[in-house]
Structure 1
Amino acid sequence: MRSVIFVLIILAVAIFISASFESKKKESNTQVLPTKEVDKLATKTDDSGQVFVDAKPLKTEGKNLQFEITVTTHSVELWEDLSSVSKLIVDGLEATPIRWDGDPPGGHHREGTLLFEGNFVNPKSVKLIIESIGGEEKEFEWEL
């Protein structure tokens, strides 16, 4: 009886060790992107002045480029039409937005998507400029 228990304990330890090695093997096969690759399309924030703006590229190549924009303030009204006060510079070439899909002018919190049209193939850099939001200019740049 003791020998059966001893064999079962040895077997359990062997299974545990084997499972542990297999788990470590799977972890080592997981591909981890370098931080630089992940940050290429990271949300950029400009929290200077009275108006805070977050900008995140949703699409940075092809026919239409899209940016998710979030604007927050507690001191001024946000009356600007973001499609009229924004521009995009892609590899030195300027584009203007064709549409703002989001909250209408007014209030202290707005969010939506700014859409630019053009034929952008393998851009190297993208700069979004909001020329006047709450009386301030905001710039966001991504190296792709």
Structure 2
Amino acid sequence: MKNTILIIVAVGLAAGAVLLYSVFYTRERATTDVGNKSRLGTQTILGPKTNDDGGVTVAVTPKNISADAASWDFKISLDTHSVELLEDLTQVSILEDENGKKYEPTAWEGDPPGGHHREGILKFKPISPFPKALELKIEASGKVRSFKWPL
């Protein structure tokens, strides 16, 4: 009986270890593969970033960062309960490459200024040559928020 329990526990631990290894190894490999493909013109998948300084939560998720995209889109979400969100995001946002070169947004497709919750897509022209890193800066409620991604 004790041997059976030990075997079941050992098999369970081994299966758990294999599962964890495959999840983390696959994620790391997928990130590396996607990063390499981005330089070949396929879409790079970048993770979301959040900043909650100053009573306003700003969440940013890059959507289609690739050399052959018509535009580089960033899903933006602003959330607060303390101030009105009055900023024109095309005027208070800037995208920078690893050399510090700045790119202005081409459009905002989303909620208009005002209120406590806003969401939409901030669009930029694709950068060429394809950069090694991106930094999106957004000024919200008097504070500059910085979101960085290596490519």
Compute the TM-score of the two structures, normalised by the length of structure 2. 0.68
- Higher RCO structure, 1 or 2 (CA under 8 Å, sep 6+): 1
2:117 to 109, 115, 125: 109
Q: Unmatched 5+ residue regions in structure 1?
A: 1-26
Q: Is the 8 A contact 1:61 1:123 kept in 2?
A: no
For residues 138 and 112 of structure 1, what CA distance do their matches in structure 2 show?
A: 17
Partner of 1:7: none
| Aligned match of 2:133 | 125
Determine if the alignment matches structure 1 residue 88 to structure 2 residue 82. no
What is the number of equivalent residue pairs in this alignment?
A: 116
- Larger displacement relative to structure 2 (63-72 or 114-123): 114-123
Hey, which of these two has a bigger chunk of strand by percent? Answer: 1
Percentage of identical aligned residues: 39
Q: Residues 119 and 140 of structure 1: is their aligned pair in 2 closer, same or farther, counting only changes over 3 Å? A: closer
Matches of 2:141 and 2:71 in 1, distance apart?
Answer: 27
- Preserved contact between residue 64 and residue 119 of structure 1 (Cα < 8 Å): no
Q: Partners of 1:143 and 1:107 in 2: how far apart?
A: 33
- Please, which runs of 5 or more residues in structure 2 have no aligned partner? 1-18, 33-44
Cα distance in 1 for partners of 2:51, 2:29 equals 21
Give the Cα separation in 1 of the matches to 2:118 and 2:29: 30
Q: Which has the larger radius of gyration?
A: 1
